[in-house]
Amino acid sequence: MEGKKLKKSIITVLGKDSVGIIAKVCTYLANNNVNILDINQTITGGFFNMMMIVESEEVVKTFPVMASELEQIGEELGVKIQAQHQEIFEMMHRI
Amino acid sequence: MLNINEVIETNKMIHEMNLDVRTITMGISLLDCVSDSLDEVCENIYNKITTKAKNLVKVGKEIEQEFGIPIVNKRISITPIALVGGACCKGPEDFVRIAKELDRCAKEVGVNFIGGYSALVNKGMTKADKYLIESIPEALSVTDRVCSSINVGSTKTGINMDAVKMLGEIILETSRKTADKDSIGNAKLVVFTNAPDDNPFMAGAFHGVTEADTIINVGVSGPGVVKRALENVRGKDFEELCETIKKTAFKVTRVGQLVAKEASKRLGVPFGIIDLSLAPTPAVGDSVGEILEEIGLEYAGAPGTTAALALLNDQVKKGGVMASSYVGGLSGAFIPVSEDQRMIDAVEAGALTLEKLEAMTCVCSVGLDMIAIPGDTKATTISGIIADEMALGMVNQKTTAVRIIPVIGKGVGDTVQFGGLLGYAPIMPVNQFDCSAFVNRGGRIPAPIHSFKN
């Protein structure tokens, strides 16, 4: 899997808002050569919701490794970070 | 491009409403494992299953992780064993040996159930079919993961009442053999009419003889998602109610379709069907009973329940067929008692009886499912209950099934714990009037007429 093209993925961050969440996630992505295509955020019910659409041509890490590292960063920040392949959302919301 | 609300909606369904893919079931034909030597058959079965399904669990976990959708079960369905063992099994004990081999295979590849310890006897029984049925009590008591199903009737052939009579006794014997574990053996035994060849759900899954060598079937679920969607249309008319169920079923099924395609690609095995069933679990918020309440009933079982279930079942299908071109299996709402918290509550409140459940099975998939009855119920009474349910399926050209559990040593008012996804159940009362003269007649009920429908 090393070096294989990565599909478009969605990274979501959910939790209490605090300083530096986006910075930390973006730094991680930059370090791993992951390109951010779109970034969007909203506050619902006092919770910080962020969604990133990302793409990476030359992935240095496999998807599961990246997903679990992002999850760990989330734990350090006290938020829930999840990375998922984009198709699950497209299948559900697009005919 | 996707917007944030769509992403939030999907993840809420998964994290808060228990949306999951209930099962990826690999169907494996064992017809090429046939031999006249029992040792050889066992060896062939072991080699075939452990080769074909080697990566099933691994691939399931990968998909789960990459798409962020739980895939609760990975399972295997196989060719009805009565066909596979016909040439080499000289008695019930030989079939038990195959059952043990299947159990070993299931444990080796890491699936939680293997279905297909089955016989199709809707018109008549071969010697092998008879041996297999006789072996069920022993086979289900010495194995953990083997599931058995017997098809005793169909719309085209009628009902094999000799098999129905036999199964009343077999079910009681299975209960006795597993009495130390609350008669759990019968949770792994289903009696069918019009059994589908491609059902991915246990305990009734088997790989029909008309299927390809190996296929991937996927069962989706999501009663919690439907329930939450319906909260937004309280008090609205039936059109809006139906629209909401359809849209939700569409979304749920699309996830199943994605998982099925992905699993098929990664395993190099053709995709068979999506079974778009609403399959409840004992978890709170994962209940079909709760949907019926949300539609407007105090409890499942109240007047109006059959109509509510009929519309629910129909809308689930209508939404689902738009989402996948290959829909099959049972596809509909499941109404097991022990696996659905609100159904259990309905029984305990006195709202839901065996007779009402029987009526409900006329309009939804499956049938009398995971129902615990007193351990001293007569074999002929169990056969009578089976015959009634089979007749519903035969006449209405639909699948019906009975998975009933006489619990040895327990009576009405007691509760039985099966554990895990199987849940717990209050023992339900059974009509005490006798039907033995009916059951003991022997022979077949002829196929129904297909015209003059009234």
Is B395 a residue whose pLDDT tops 90? yes
CA B279/CA B276 separation, integer angstroms? 9
Q: Extract the tokens encoding A74.
A: 């989330």
Average pLDDT, chain B: 94
Rounded CA-CA distance B133/B120 in Å is 10
Residue B421 has a pLDDT of 78
Residue pLDDT, tens place only, B71-95:
999 999 999 999 999 999 999 999 9
Lowest mean pLDDT among A62-66, B33-37, B123-127, B155-159: A62-66
What residues does each domain of chain B span?
Answer: 30-193
pLDDT of residue A4: 53
pLDDT of residue B282: 87
Where exactly are the structural domains of chain A?
9-93
Residue A3's pLDDT is: 44
Q: Residues B378-388: pLDDT tens digits?
A: 999 999 999 99
- Over residues B219-228, the mean pLDDT reads 91
Q: Which residue has the tokens 């351990």?
A: B375
Looking at the predicted structure, is the pLDDT value of residue B158 above 60?
A: yes
Query: Dihedral (C-alpha) B5, B10, B13, B14: value to the nearest 10 degrees?
Result: -140
Instruction: Tell me the mean pLDDT in the region B108-122.
Output: 96
| Alpha carbon B72 to chain centroid, angstroms | 15
Q: Enumerate the H helices of B189-335 as residue ranges.
A: 223-231, 238-267, 288-295, 305-323
For residue A13, what are the β-bridge partners? A50, A81
A71 touching B, CB under 8 A? no
Nearest residue on chain A to B10, alpha-carbon basis = A89
How far off is chain B from A93, nearest CA to CA, in Å?
A: 7
Instruction: State how far the Cα of B276 lies from the Cα of B365, in Å rounded to an integer.
Output: 11
∠B399-B418-B348 over CA atoms, to 5°? 80
Q: Select A9-93's CATH number: 3.50.50.60, 3.30.70.260, 3.40.50.2300, 3.30.1600.10.
A: 3.30.70.260
Looking at residue A1, its pLDDT comes to: 42
Contact between chains at B66 and A41 (C-beta distance less than 8 A): no
Is pLDDT above 80 for B291? yes
Class of domain B30-193 as given by CATH: alpha beta
Q: What distance in Å separates the CA atoms of residue B333 and residue B311, rounded to the nearest whole number?
A: 10
Residues 6+ apart with CB under 8 A from B158: B122, B123, B394, B444, B445, B446, B447, B448
Please, what are the averages of pLDDT over each run of 10 residues along chain A (95 residues)?
A: 64 87 90 90 83 80 88 92 92 89
Look at residue A58 in the predicted model and tell me its pLDDT.
60
Q: Residues B327-338: what's their mean pLDDT? A: 90
A64 to chain B, any CB pair closer than 8 A? The answer is yes
Q: Which residues of A touch B2 (CB under 8 A)?
A: 10, 51, 53, 86, 89-90, 93
Report CA torsion sign: B167, B188, B268, B11.
Answer: positive
Of B6, B62, B258, the CB nearest to A93: B6
As for the ipTM of the complex, it is 0.86
Residue B67 and residue A67: Cβ atoms within 8 Å? no
pLDDT 10s digits, B413-443: 999 998 877 889 999 999 999 999 999 999 9
Mutate which of B3, B7, B247 to disrupt the A interface (most A C-beta within 10 Å)? B7
